[in-house]
Amino acid sequence: MPGTDYLAWALRIAHFQLLSHLKKANLHRKYFSSQTLDKLNEIAVSAGTESQESLDALRHCIKLLPERSKKLLSLRYEDGATVQKIAQRVRESVHSLYKEYQKIHTQLFQCIRRQLDWK
């Protein structure tokens, strides 16, 4: 559903499933306090939000890349082709493609840092 935070919802469901399991197994009193479980859930939700922000930044930064860079990323990460196979396909040396992927990764990293205001 648009506008909902699926990850936060899924983590909350997992939290309640864990509580249910611990209660059935009578382990929660032995190992975890309610406060500990609540804190763990809070940390997991926070980490999920940060991951989503990073993913959104990555998607934005990929859109800014030249078409060739997008195509090379697609071949490598969506299609799962090796750099050797891609080099054959685009008729370039493996070495030059590794250099190009390094340049693309650097551009993406710098863009993501700017998007997320990392220092």
What is the per-residue pLDDT across 40-69, written as a single tens digit (0 to 9) for each?
667 666 666 667 788 888 889 989 999 999
Q: What's the CA gap between 23 and 98, in Å, rounded?
A: 52
Mean pLDDT of 96-104: 92
Characterize 46-55 residue by residue with b for buried, 16 or more Cβ atoms within 10 angstroms of its Cβ, and e for exposed. eebeeeeeee
**pLDDT of res. 28:** 46
**pLDDT of res. 3:** 47
On whether the pTM is more than 0.75, the answer is no
